[in-house]
């Protein structure tokens, strides 16, 4: 979990950094010419999907009643990232985490060489045996990890099993340039040196994670995934270097994190003041003490550093904290500093000595541009998933067909084959408004089954009098909105849509009045009502007599005419000038 107070420090600087995930991918691809590469803290997903009931008790997993829901959430998350055609890598925790993590009382004092002994033994094990010092076999995995790994292996999604902390391995991947961002909610990701990360991937427009349950979070919910983008270099630039990874690390050590309780008398406000000081720069001095793995500091150097920090706080408490803390900052304040071994685990977490780069091989479907999804064993995966009796899935066959095809629609479009128009078409376009302020031009792509496993010989269902739109929906059963900027302009589907759009004739304007007329129209136009017509000052010499109508005409009077319409017999002129 790290130190939640780090997010309190950074929150004012991250107000405008909450963006839709799709827009983040589009903007990155526009600026870099390729989709982003993301390392995902696997434990964060395990917890948010519901496999683990508590972050503090990871051994308690959801094996009774909630495993099916967790599996459904996990499949949905994989689908979201596959559908954007980004490169992503799940990284899971290993067994080389410190034994004293979150159990500080049993740790006590450590010898100076404890960490180095463990590190050297770990390196030798990798060199001689090719695996981690504390390697767990498949049979030792918890039930939920076996399920997760089976799903990933069935879908050919590669993942990394770290030696120690998963967040530390993610940070290393980002620092070495193998990925662009780390997706995690753990502040330790920054403490371990990560420079760019994505936080709180959820459907909340505010910086809240999946587990957010406040009324404000529910009101600000969205249908789209949002992420908070953190770039440590940008934070340093806008805060005059107050925030860097060693200052955040020093803040965590003083306040207390996963490996220590924290220094007595130092709350988050005092710890933040000390970590952000530049004259003297205690955070940088702390880094110089422990930053070099080969030249570890002596006990006396570490004790001298602690005493120097306390003495400075006593002498400058008013300037630092706004109050005189001389009495509070007594000798007892020296208690609570982490041991040298614990500090070494902060600065030098146990990592994989030689990274197996085959996880980035193009054969894996989680790597951008892979189009080998046709070769997946969909039948075997279906037989495995159906055993969970997934909740809220009434029609499993229909759900499975759509869920397994939607992740690869964009990749199928990007192949740009001429045959695309046989089973895919663009039918609509619109600009989506995400979060009330982000615009994203999108295309609606309708498609029929294009993966051989799901193609059947059944003809599409036809309605009695289908409209053009209804025929399209019957023939192209599935649909998906895709950001327009993810599809190249020369794509055959996009070119066909542009031709169709340009050749569409405009719809005729509606007539304000009906063009149809009957035999009474002319008569009423000639003889308007005297009530509605203003009286003339000149009396007319000719006054019309009321019209005599004959509703029934004898057969002899018809003159053999077949017209049975209303007959006007005639008009009579009155001789006197009296008004009618």
Q: Before 71, cis peptide (omega within 30)?
A: no
Distance CA 329, CA 317 (A): 9
Q: What whole-number distance in Å separates Cα of residue 295 and Cα of residue 571?
A: 124
Measured between alpha carbons, how far is residue 3 from residues 243, 248, 268 in Å?
Answer: 15, 10, 10
Q: What share of the chain is helix, strand, coil (3-state, %, to 5)?
A: 45, 15, 45
| Secondary structure of residue 231 in the 3-state scheme | strand
> What ranges in 84-197 are assigned the alpha helix state H?
114-129, 143-154, 166-175, 188-191
Query: Cα 317–318–323 angle (5° rounding)?
Result: 95
Q: Using CA atoms, how far apart are residues 155 and 75, in angstroms rounded to an integer?
A: 10
Tokens representing residue 194 in the block = 């990560």
Q: Is residue 215 within 8 Å of residue 242, measured between CB atoms?
A: no
Separation CA 301–CA 369 (nearest Å): 53
Total length of the chain: 580
Q: Strand 181-183 to strand 196-204: parallel, antiparallel, or no bridges (unpaired)?
A: parallel
CB atoms within 10 A of CB 535: 8
Write phi, then psi, for 362 (nearest 5 degrees): -65, -15
Task: Pull the structure tokens for residue 139.
Answer: 């049979």
Output the DSSP codes for 379-424: HHHHHHHGGG--TT-S-HHHHHHHHHHGGGHHHHHHT--TTHHHHE
pTM for the model: 0.81
Examine residue 280 and say whether the peptide bond preceding it is cis (omega within 30 degrees of 0).
yes
Q: How far apart are CA 119 and CA 123, in angstroms?
A: 6
Beta-carbon contacts of residue 311 (< 8 Å; ≥ 6 apart):
none
The H or E element that residue 18 is part of is: strand 18-20
CB atoms under 10 Å from CB of 565, counted, come to 7
Closest C-alpha among 342, 2, 354 to residue 163: 354
In 3D, which of 401, 361, 352 has the Cα closest to residue 157? 361
At 33, which helix (H) or strand (E)? none
The per-residue b/e assignment along 281-308, b for 16 or more CB within 10 angstroms, e otherwise, is bbbbebbebbeeeeebbeeeebeebeee
Question: What pLDDT shows up at residue 111?
Answer: 43
Cα distances from 94 to residues 129, 159, 350, 535, in angstroms, run: 17, 13, 10, 101
Q: Spell out the per-residue pLDDT of the chain, length 580, in tens.
A: 678 889 988 998 898 999 999 999 999 999 999 999 999 999 999 999 988 876 555 454 444 458 999 999 999 999 999 999 999 999 999 988 877 675 655 444 444 457 888 888 888 888 888 888 776 544 456 788 999 999 999 999 999 999 999 999 999 999 999 999 999 999 999 999 999 999 999 999 999 888 765 555 555 677 899 999 999 999 988 877 678 889 999 999 888 877 777 887 788 888 888 898 988 999 999 999 998 887 777 888 898 998 898 888 888 888 777 777 665 565 555 577 888 888 888 899 999 988 889 999 999 999 999 999 999 999 999 999 999 999 989 999 999 999 999 999 999 999 999 899 999 999 999 999 998 889 999 999 999 999 999 988 554 455 455 555 555 667 888 999 999 999 999 999 999 999 988 776 555 555 555 555 566 666 666 665 555 545 444 554 555 555 555 555 555 554 544 445 454 545 555 555 555 4
Give 51: exposed, middle or buried? Use CB within 10 Å, 0-12, 13-18, 19+: buried
Place of tokens 């004790």: 303
């Amino acid at each position: 979990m790290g130190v939640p107070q780090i997010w309190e420090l950074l929150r004012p600087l991250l107000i405008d950094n909450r963006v839709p995930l799709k827009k983040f991918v589009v903007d990155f691809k526009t600026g870099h010419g390729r989709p982003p590469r993301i390392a995902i803290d696997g434990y964060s997903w395990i917890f948010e999907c519901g496999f683990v009931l508590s972050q503090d008790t990871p051994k308690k997993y959801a094996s009774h009643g909630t495993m099916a829901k967790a599996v459904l959430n996990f499949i949905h998350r994989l689908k979201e990232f596959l559908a954007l055609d980004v490169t992503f890598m799940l990284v899971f925790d290993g067994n080389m985490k410190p034994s004293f993590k979150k159990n500080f009382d049993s740790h006590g004092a450590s010898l100076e060489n404890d960490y180095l002994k463990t590190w050297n033994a770990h390196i030798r094990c990798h060199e001689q045996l090719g695996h981690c010092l504390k390697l767990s076999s498949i049979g030792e995995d918890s039930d939920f990890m076996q399920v997760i790994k089976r799903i990933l292996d069935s879908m050919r999604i590669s993942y990394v099993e770290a030696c120690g902390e998963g967040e530390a391995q993610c940070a290393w991947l980002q620092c070495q340039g193998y990925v662009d961002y780390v997706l995690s909610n753990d502040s330790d990701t920054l403490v371990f040196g990560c420079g760019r990360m994505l936080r709180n991937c959820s459907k909340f427009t505010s910086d809240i994670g999946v587990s957010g349950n406040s009324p404000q979070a529910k009101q600000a919910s969205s249908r789209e995934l949002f992420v908070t983008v953190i770039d440590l270099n940008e934070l340093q630039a806008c805060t005059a270097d107050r925030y860097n990874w060693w200052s955040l690390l020093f803040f965590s050590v003083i306040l207390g994190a996963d490996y220590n309780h924290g220094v007595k008398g130092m709350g988050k406000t005092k710890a933040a003041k000390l970590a952000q000081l530049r004259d003297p720069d205690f955070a940088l001095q702390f880094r110089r003490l422990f930053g070099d793995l080969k030249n570890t500091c002596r006990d006396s150097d570490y004790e001298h550093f602690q005493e120097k920090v306390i003495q400075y706080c006593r002498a400058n408490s008013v300037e630092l904290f706004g109050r005189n803390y001389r009495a509070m900052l007594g000798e007892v304040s020296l208690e609570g500093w982490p041991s040298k071994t614990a500090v070494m685990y902060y600065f030098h977490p146990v990592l994989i000595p030689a990274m197996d780069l085959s996880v980035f091989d193009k054969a894996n479907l989680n790597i951008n541009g892979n189009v080998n999804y046709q070769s997946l064993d969909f039948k075997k995966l279906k037989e495995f998933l159906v055993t969970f009796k997934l909740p809220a899935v009434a029609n499993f066959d229909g759900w499975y067909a759509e869920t397994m095809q939607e992740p690869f629609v964009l990749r199928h479009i990007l192949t740009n084959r001429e045959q695309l128009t046989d089973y895919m078409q663009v039918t609509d376009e619109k600009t989506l408004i995400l979060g009330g302020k982000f615009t994203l031009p999108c295309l609606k792509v309708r498609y029929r089954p294009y993966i051989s496993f799901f193609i059947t010989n059944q003809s599409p269902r036809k309605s009695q009098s289908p409209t053009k739109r209804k025929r399209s929906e019957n023939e192209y059963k599935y649909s998906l909105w895709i950001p327009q900027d993810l599809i190249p302009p020369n794509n055959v589907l996009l070119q066909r849509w542009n031709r169709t759009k340009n050749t569409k004739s405009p719809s005729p304007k509606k007539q304000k009045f009906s063009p149809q007329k009957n035999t009474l129209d002319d008569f009423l136009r000639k003889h308007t009502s005297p009530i509605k017509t203003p009286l003339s000052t000149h009396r007319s010499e000719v006054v019309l007599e009321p019209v005599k109508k004959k509703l029934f005409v004898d057969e002899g009077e018809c003159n053999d005419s077949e017209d049975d319409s209303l007959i006007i017999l005639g008009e009579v002129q009155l001789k006197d000038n009296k008004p009618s």
